[in-house]
Amino acid sequence: MKINGEIWIVAEQVKGNLKEVSYELLGKAKELAVKDGFPVTAVVMGSGIGALPADLIAHGADKVILIDAPRLLLYQNDIYALVLENLIRKYSPGIVLFSASYSCSELSATVGAKLRTGVAAHSIDLYYNEQGELVQVVPAFGGRVLGEIFCPLTRPIIASIKPGVFKKQAKDTARQGEIIEEPAAGLEHYQSPLKAVTVVQEHLSGVPLEDAEIVLAGGWGVGSAEVWQLLEKLAQSLHGAVGCTRPALDEGWAKGEHELIGVSGKTIRPKVYIGFGISGATHHVVGIKDSGVVINVNNDPNSPVFQISDYGVAADVKELLPKLLEKIEEAK
Amino acid sequence: MLKFSEQQEQLRKVVRDFVEKEIATIASKIDQEDTCPVELLRMTAQLGYNGVFVPECYQGVGLGYTERAIILEEIARHSAGFALALMTHHLGVYAILTWGNEEQKQKYLPKLCSGSIAGLAVTEPGGGSDFAGMKSTGELVDGYWVLNGRKCFITNSHCADINIVVVRTGEDEKGRPRMSVFVIDENTPGCKPGRKEKKTGLKGSDMGDVILDNVKVPASNLIGKPGDGAKIGLGTISEVGRSGMAAIGLGILRACLEDSVKFAKERIIYGRPLAKLTNIQFIIAQNRTDYEAGRLLTYNAVGIKDAGLPCVPEISIAKYFTTEAAINTAKRTIDLMGGYGVICDYPVDRYLRDAVASIPSGGTSYVMQIIIAGSALS
Amino acid sequence: MNIAVCVKPVPDPKFYDKITINPETKLLERNKIPMAINPSDKNAIEAAMRLKELLGAKVILISMAPPEAKEVLKEGLAMGIDEAYLLSDRAFAGADTYATAKTLAAGLNKIGLFDLILTGSESVDGGTSHVPSQLGEMMGMPHLNHVMAVETEGDILKIKTKIENGYMLYEGLPPMVLGVSKEINTPRYVSLMGVVKAQGKPFTVWGLNDLQLNADDVGLAGSLTQPGSLRTPPIDRKVEMLDGDIEEKAEKILKILYAAGVLN
ipTM value, please give it. Answer: 0.92
Q: Out of B10, B21, B46, whose CB is closest to C195? A: B10
- The percent of residues above 90 in pLDDT, for chain C, comes to 82
pLDDT computed for residue A1 by the predictor: 58
Tell me if C247 is assigned to some domain.
Answer: no
Looking at residue A2, its pLDDT comes to: 66
Please tell me the predicted confidence (pLDDT) of residue B368.
97
Quote the distance between the C-alpha of residue A128 and its chain's center.
Answer: 21
**B31 vs B79: CA distance, rounded Å:** 8
- Crossing angle, helix B80-99 and helix B242-266, to 10 degrees? 160
Distance from CA of B16 to the nearest CA of A (A): 19
Q: Structural domains in chain A? A: 7-181 (3.40.50.620), 209-331 (3.40.50.1220)
Across the range C185-208, mean pLDDT stands at: 97
Domain locations along chain B:
6-117, 119-228, 231-377
Binned at pLDDT 50, 70 and 90, residue B201 comes out as very high
What fold is seen in the domain B119-228?
Answer: Butyryl-CoA Dehydrogenase, subunit A; domain 2 (2.40.110)
pLDDT value of residue A103? 94
CA B15 to chain centre: 17
pLDDT reported for residue B127? 64
- Ranges assigned E (strand) in B81-205: 118-121, 137-141, 144-155, 162-171, 177-184, 191-196
CATH of the domain at C195: 3.40.50.620
Least CA distance to B21: which residue of chain C?
C189
Is residue C224 a part of any domain in this protein? no
* pLDDT tens by residue, C7-40: 999 999 888 878 888 878 777 877 678 899 999 9
Interface contact flag, A196 C169, Cβ < 8 Å: yes
Neighbours of B186 (CB within 10 A): 12
**Whole-number pLDDT of residue C73:** 95
What is the sign of the dihedral through the CA atoms of B185, B186, B190 and B194? positive
How do A134-140 and A145-150 pair as beta strands? antiparallel
With 0-12 / 13-18 / 19 or more C-beta atoms within 10 angstroms meaning exposed / middle / buried, residue C47 is: buried
Residue C250 lies in a domain: no
Mean predicted lDDT score pLDDT of chain B = 95
pLDDT band at B129 (very low <50, low <70, confident <90, very high): low
Helices B278-306, B65-78: inter-axial angle, 10-degree rounding: 150
CB contact under 8 A, C196 and B63: yes
Q: What is the pLDDT of residue A157?
A: 96
* pLDDT digit string, tens, across residues C158-171: 999 999 888 999 99
- Measured between alpha carbons, how far is B33 from B366 in angstroms, rounded to an integer? 31
Tally of structural domains, chain C: 1
Amino acid, res. A288: I
Answer whether C126 touches A (CB < 8 Å): yes
Q: Is residue C254 part of a domain?
A: no
In angstroms, the CA C82 to CA B61 distance is 19
Position C32 scores a pLDDT of 77
**C170 phi and psi angles, rounded to 5 deg:** -120, 155
Q: Please check the confidence at residue C101 and state whether its pLDDT lies above 90.
A: yes
> Residue A249 in contact with residue A224, Cβ under 8 Å?
no
In C38-77, the residues whose Cβ lies within 8 Å of chain B are 71, 74-75
pLDDT in tens, B88-108: 999 999 999 999 999 999 999
Q: What is the pLDDT of residue B174?
A: 86
pLDDT at C61: 98
Q: Which residues of A touch C170 (CB under 8 A)?
A: 194-197
pLDDT of residue B128: 61
Cβ separation A326–C250 shorter than 8 A: yes
Q: Which of B4, B6, B10 to mutate to test the interface with C (most CBs of C within 10 A)?
A: B10
- Measured over the CA atoms of residue A276, residue A282, residue A285 and residue A287, the dihedral's sign is negative
DSSP structural state of residue C261: T
Write the DSSP string, B119-137. EEE--BTTBSS-GGG---E
Residues tagged in the binding site annotation of A for FAD: 245-246, 277-284, 298
Does 1.20.210.10 match the CATH number of domain B231-377? no
- Per DSSP, the three-state class of B198 is coil
CATH of B6-117, one of 1.10.10.10, 1.10.3720.10, 1.10.540.10, 2.60.40.1120: 1.10.540.10
> What average pLDDT values come out for chain A (332 residues) when binned by 10 residues?
83 93 95 85 96 96 97 94 98 96 96 97 92 92 89 94 89 95 95 92 80 93 94 92 93 91 89 94 87 93 90 93 92 77
Collect all residues with Cβ–Cβ distance below 8 Å to C3 and sequence separation of at least 6. C48, C51, C52, C57, C58, C59, C60, C114, C115, C116, C117, C118
Q: Which residue of B has its CA nearest to A302?
A: B267
Residue C103 lies in a domain: yes
Please give the pLDDT value at position A27.
Answer: 95
Q: What is the pLDDT of residue B177?
A: 87
Amino acid A67 reads I
Predicted pLDDT at C33: 87
Domain span including residue C116: 2-217
Q: How far apart are CA B340 and CA B293, in angstroms?
A: 27
Asked if C192 lies within 8 A of B47 by C-beta distance, the reply is: yes
